[in-house]
Amino acid sequence: MELRRVLWLLAILCVAVRASAESVMVISDTHMTADTAAYTETMDAVRQAASVCGTVLFLGDNTNNGRTEEHIAVTAFARSIAQAAGAEVLMIPGNHDYTSGFGRQEFAREYAAFGWERSFSRDGVTASCAVMSAGGTCFLLLDTNQLGPASRVLPDGGITQETLAWLDSVLSSLPEGTPAVACGHHPILPAERSRRTPGADGLADTLRAHGVRLYLCGHDHGFATVEENGLRQITVGQPHAYPGWAGTLEISPEGFRWQTEALYDTASAYFAGMERSARDLGVRMARGTLQGTSCEGDEAAVGWFASAFTRYVSGELTPDVCAGLLADESCAKWRGIETKTVVRDWIIGLLEHCPEDVRQISLMIAK
């Protein structure tokens, strides 16, 4: 293992000196089931968009239920991207990818071709690993899941001290000037979540201490970004849900440049269907949350939530939009509900933090 590590570090140094530019396509939360026919449009769109990228990165919740047949469908999809687009595919686990019978060891084995087998360092506690890209970037592929009793996966995730110690060791070993991008399923900065992932502060502090300025994540099914004390977090939405975007990260010696890319023709029937589905989902979430509360049946309160939800997933929450939604009388109704507070706290916390425009971000590499 030590010889393997030395050889990888020598390769890292050679690639870093070469200072190549590279393009990385980023998607998250595909939630694939065994019924792959339902994902045909998405798979075709992703493969086509990936043809101009050297790397495709999946940020977890690759499957919907963590079943064997779903993992088979996902890995087949990933291989088809590699073959059709000629791109390297990297994947990390989300909370939907683990079950009591499919955990970290199984993920590392079944997804070995998508990062694990060519990693230069592996965490001994989780399925986290560190991979060097052909362009000289270190991708920190982090398993941010936390297991509870009976190996039950906790939805908010968690980062252990052992994993932080491993990460500190990896970052300390990188040659000076090597760009590094941290990738986890769960958000660690409070851009759109009022509840923090356990261990999030420790992870953020470890990244900052080593000059890592970019953390990519999913989990919340929408596009958003926030910067806190020098660390930029970009949350990535679903490629098969409105607004049908993927992220593209351009890495060069000058820095990182992020853009969102439309995967579908906005004039198509498929796109119109996604847009309707997003609105319908917002309405269902609102009605389900308000059921049994003093606001049950209040269509104005339902419409307020649906509007906030669709504007969130489409990256339209500007400061003015957030201020208007918070000042609306329906927001006061939502603040007053006393049950099902997770959804209430999420949507109001989202508006109060007001995520920045995620469509185009430039960062300088600080090493």
Domain match, 291 and 349 both: yes
Domain with residue 214: its CATH number is 3.60.21.10
> pLDDT below 70 — which residues of the chain?
1-20, 191-195, 364-367
**Residue 274: predicted pLDDT:** 92
Q: What is the DSSP string of 208-228?
A: HHTT--EEEE-SSSS-EEEEE
One domain, residues 113 and 261: yes
The pLDDT score that the predictor gives to residue 19 is: 52
- So what's the pLDDT on residue 222? 84
Residues 260 and 142 in one domain: yes
Q: Total structural domains in the chain?
A: 2
Helix (H, G, I), strand (E, B) or coil at 242: coil
Do 329 and 309 share a domain, yes or no?
Answer: yes
Residues 235 and 187: their CA atoms lie apart, in Å, by 7
Q: Choose among 232, 239, 264, 267: nearest CA to 357.
A: 232
Q: Are residues 68 and 196 in the same domain?
A: yes
Give the DSSP H or E segment for 211: none
CA-CA distance, 94 to 29, in Å (whole number)? 8
Q: Are 24 and 132 members of one domain?
A: yes
Instruction: Check the CA dihedral 119-239-243-297 and report its sign.
Output: negative
Q: What tokens were used for 43?
A: 């798979």
Q: Say what the pLDDT of residue 7 is.
A: 46
Q: How far apart are CA 135 and CA 152, in angstroms?
A: 38
Separation between Cα atoms, residue 102 and residue 74, nearest integer Å: 15
Give strand pairing partners of 24: 55, 249
- Per-residue pLDDT at 151: 75
The strand pairing partners of 140, in sequence order, are 130, 182
Task: Using the structure block, give the residue that is written with the tokens 């936390």.
Answer: 146
Cis amide prior to 319 (ω within 30 degrees): no
CA-to-CA distance for 259 and 118, rounded, in angstroms?
28
| Beta carbons of 325 and 331 less than 8 angstroms apart | yes
Question: Are both 257 and 274 inside the same structural domain?
Answer: no
> Do 308 and 237 fall within a single domain?
no
72 in the same domain as 135 = yes
Q: How many CB atoms lie within 10 A of CB 206?
A: 19
- Where do the H-state alpha helices sit in 26-111? 40-50, 68-85, 104-110
Secondary-structure breakdown of the chain: helix, strand, coil percentages, each rounded to the nearest 5: 45, 20, 35
16 near 178, Cβ under 8 Å? yes
Q: Provide the domain limits for residue 292.
A: 269-353
Same domain, 200 and 96: yes
Residue 191: per-residue pLDDT: 57
Instruction: Give yes or no: residues 51 and 198 share one domain.
Output: yes
Asked if 16 and 66 sit in the same domain, the reply is: yes
DSSP label at residue 137: P
